[in-house]
Amino acid sequence: MKWKHAALALLAAALLVLSACGAKEEGPRIRDLTSKPAAGETTQTAQAPVDAEPEQKPETEKGSSVKIEKAEKNKDEEAEKQAQNESLLAAYEAILDRSVEVLSSGGDIEARDGEMGLLEACYGGTGVGYAVEDLTGDGVPELVLGSLEDDTLYAVYTGNQGEPVLMLEGYCRHPCRYLGRGRFFCSGSASAFNSILSAYVLSKDGLELICEDFYFTDESAGDGMDVAFFHNTTGVMDPAVSDQLDIDYDQFFTIEDSWMEQVQAIALTPFAVTYPTVTVDGPQVRAMWADGEWNGDYDWIDLSTGEPVSTVLFVADSTVTDFQISSLFLESVDDAGNMEFSVTPLYTQDSLTPAWALVVDLTFYGDLPSYGISYVDANRQPWRFTITISGYDGSILLTEY
């Protein structure tokens, strides 16, 4: 069995506003975004006085007038761009506030465009962060939301005349990663016969997501069990408008490996830092039969001691530490039905994260608990549970003890 592998740089207390506009008592919680001098630009210094030149000719005066007009135009354009950026940062602030709602919802919320990845990671939100960064160098910042556990991006927004525009969305079955210089790599699958590898770049003005390469597999003619490999630069999964490639799966995934080697991390600020209300609440690890419900990455260990072998999936809703699977032996039961066990550790790992699950082979004997798990959540609260099988519907039960 194998599944498919799946505000803004610490918000400042106030947004610095152009001095001509005056100071705000409470600006958006966004860091000041001031541009560095362009390449080759130098700082002007005072010059020594020189003798007055003879009266200039009319054409020289005309040239000076043109220069003044250009300077005034550039000044107006810069002021307009600054105003648009301030409006954009305020809009990004609203997106972050909405993201907090999603991350705090426990999944009980209707996702909007750009929120699927957040919804998948909504339990506690400690594994999600954000950043504001000018990825294209056009002076307009982008807003990036992504996982703190790996380099997966959930959403990338840019600005168009002060308004946010969703450019890219990633989630479990369609993970996206940053390659640097405004470029992104996405992978995923649409079905058992359709795998996708694609690369995109934001245009220099940040207003268009341009497809550089789009590789995909599709059923070829024949018995329906073979696949063919295709490529285009339109981003459309259509063999009719694509070139068929003479490659196999090994070569196909070599393309993926080459892009993964180029992935660059974007420094993200955890939501839990800027928004301390985003906290974990209750147990953060779930157990289920490993029957294909999980589409992300995982480790697999064998702790079985005989037949029948049962395979259980453990997945964390937020990062937990000191995760341990133990063998339990019932020592006593008090009058209230509380059980006391002797505990023998079988397997430990430093952490269990939302991005990387754990699949375990176990052997269950009878109705009494024979296995348990323990861990520490983000609030430093310890938890421990027995692992049993429900006599009602056969599901896996975690019962605190």
Judgement on whether residues 136 and 171 belong to the same structural domain of the protein: yes
392 found inside a domain: yes
CA distance readout (Å), 85 to 17, 163, 182: 11, 9, 19
Judgement on whether residues 241 and 324 belong to the same structural domain of the protein: no
Q: What is the pLDDT confidence band of residue 4, given thresholds at 50, 70 and 90?
A: very low
What CATH number is attached to the domain comprising 346?
2.60.40
In the block, tokens 């450019």 appear at 167
185 found inside a domain: yes
Judgement on whether residues 116 and 249 belong to the same structural domain of the protein: yes
30 found inside a domain: no
pLDDT tens string 74-87: 777 778 878 888 99
Last residue of some domain: 230, 250, 273?
Answer: 273
Instruction: Determine the residue type at 128.
Output: V
Judgement on whether residues 293 and 381 belong to the same structural domain of the protein: yes
pLDDT tens string 155-197: 999 998 889 999 999 988 899 999 999 999 999 887 767 899 9
Query: H or E element: which one contains 291?
Result: none
Judgement on whether residues 343 and 232 belong to the same structural domain of the protein: no
Query: H or E element: which one contains 329?
Result: strand 320-333
9 found inside a domain: no
- Contact (CB, 8 A) for 352 and 286: no
Judgement on whether residues 119 and 258 belong to the same structural domain of the protein: yes
pLDDT tens string 218-257: 987 545 568 899 999 999 999 999 999 999 999 999 999 9
In the block, tokens 């009878």 appear at 366
Judgement on whether residues 252 and 117 belong to the same structural domain of the protein: yes
User: How does 54-81 read in b/e, with b if 16+ C-beta sit within 10 Å?
Assistant: eeeeeeeeeeeeeeeeeeeeeeeeeeeb
340 found inside a domain: yes
User: Which 8-state DSSP code applies to residue 364?
Assistant: -
Domain housing 294: 280-400
Judgement on whether residues 318 and 238 belong to the same structural domain of the protein: no
Query: H or E element: which one contains 195?
Result: strand 194-202
Q: Of 27-36, 255-264, 379-388, where does the model show the most confidence?
A: 255-264
Last residue of some domain: 216, 249, 273?
Answer: 273
86 found inside a domain: no
List of residues 6+ apart from 43 with CB closer than 8 A: 37
370 found inside a domain: yes
Average pLDDT over the chain, rounded to an integer: 80
Q: How many domains does the chain have?
A: 2
pLDDT tens string 47-64: 444 455 555 555 555 666
32 found inside a domain: no
Judgement on whether residues 269 and 238 belong to the same structural domain of the protein: yes
Judgement on whether residues 166 and 297 belong to the same structural domain of the protein: no
Q: What is the pLDDT confidence band of residue 281, given thresholds at 50, 70 and 90?
A: low
Judgement on whether residues 163 and 259 belong to the same structural domain of the protein: yes
Last residue of some domain: 249, 273, 297?
Answer: 273
Judgement on whether residues 227 and 306 belong to the same structural domain of the protein: no
pLDDT tens string 324-349: 999 999 999 888 888 899 999 999 99
